Amino acid sequence: MDATEIRKLAALEDTHWWYRERRVLLGRALRRLAAAGTRPGRALDIGAAGGGNTRVLRAHGWRPVALEYSAEGAGVARGRGLDVIRADARRLPVRSAGLGLVVAFDILEHVDEDHLAAAELRRALRPGGTALITVPADMRLWSAHDAAVGHVRRYDRAGLRAVVERAGLVVDELWSWNVLLRPVAAWRRRRCTGSDLDEPHPLVNLGLRTVVAVERHLPVQALPGVSLMLRAHRPSDPGTPGPVKID
């Protein structure tokens, strides 16, 4: 993603319906981990941009570091009082098996060698540690927007699962997100000529927030959506406790 898009993202992430809902879903995932007995520890937010998700991690008791490739995003996150490192997702500057949680929201689609980035997630996690991953779904939704924001691909369920499992992680849950708005997204993407990352009218923003909020309570996660979300863990080494199961 180029500097212009990073600056737009940082300016929008606090108010834009899509980023707000993604933070809600991250918070829900963290609460489920806590309810299952996972104690907050060290965490890494890969591709943190302005640090919106990093702040969610911190609010839930984790000790997160924001990892951002771009100088623009890293500068914004640092200005918000977050611990920040600049690095490539394919070469994480962290010791092996040292993290309880790694968040990689909308990162793998930007990396040509996505299997290398996934392998780094596995290396950085301690045995039993959790990875939370999101990616854009379905190459049928590919548009000028994807090209403008630096996507290499969109994923189907089998493709995402294969990348994660090839890296040595165990997939615990894989589901769709932004299902109800998929027809709207498909319609808009067919007409866009570049990035559609912009600030919607406040009433439109409120309406879209309402739709995705309603989706949380509907059994639609198995249907095609605009994004995929995945929770996985690093298998335990022999002689170490396994991960806590979340029902």
What does the pLDDT read at residue 223? Answer: 97
Q: H helices within the chain, ranges in order? A: 3-12, 17-35, 52-59, 71-79, 114-124, 144-148, 157-166, 182-191, 202-215
What does the pLDDT read at residue 179? Answer: 97
Residue with tokens 């769709």: 176
The helix (H) or strand (E) run that includes residue 129 is strand 125-136
What does the pLDDT read at residue 1? Answer: 57
Domain boundaries, the chain: 3-233
What does the pLDDT read at residue 108? Answer: 97
143: nearest Cα among 197, 108, 198, 188? 188
Q: Give the contacts of 203 (CB within 8 A, at least 6 positions apart).
A: none
**How far is the C-alpha of 182 from the C-alpha of 187, rounded, in Å?**
9
Half-sphere exposure of 1 (CA within 13 A, CB side): 26
CB 152 within 8 A of CB 112: yes
CB 139 within 8 A of CB 154: yes
**Does this model's pTM top 0.85?**
yes
**How far is the C-alpha of 210 from the C-alpha of 31, rounded, in Å?**
22
Q: Is 87 helix (H, G, I), strand (E, B) or coil?
A: coil
**How far is the C-alpha of 131 from the C-alpha of 233, rounded, in Å?**
6
What does the pLDDT read at residue 243? Answer: 45
What does the pLDDT read at residue 241? Answer: 42
CB 33 within 8 A of CB 21: no
CB 2 within 8 A of CB 8: no
Q: What is the pLDDT along the chain (247 residues), one digit of tens a residue?
A: 555 666 667 777 788 999 999 999 999 999 999 999 999 999 999 999 889 999 999 999 999 999 998 888 888 888 889 999 999 999 999 999 999 999 999 999 999 999 999 999 999 999 999 999 999 999 999 999 999 889 999 999 999 999 999 999 999 999 999 999 999 989 888 887 777 777 889 999 999 999 999 999 999 999 999 999 999 999 986 544 444 444 3
* The two three-digit tokens of residue 152, written as one number: 């290499």
* The two three-digit tokens of residue 242, written as one number: 């396994």
What does the pLDDT read at residue 242? Answer: 45
CATH numeric code, 3-233: 3.40.50.150
Residue 43's beta-bridge partner residues?
64, 101
**How far is the C-alpha of 231 from the C-alpha of 29, rounded, in Å?**
9
* The two three-digit tokens of residue 7, written as one number: 């600056």
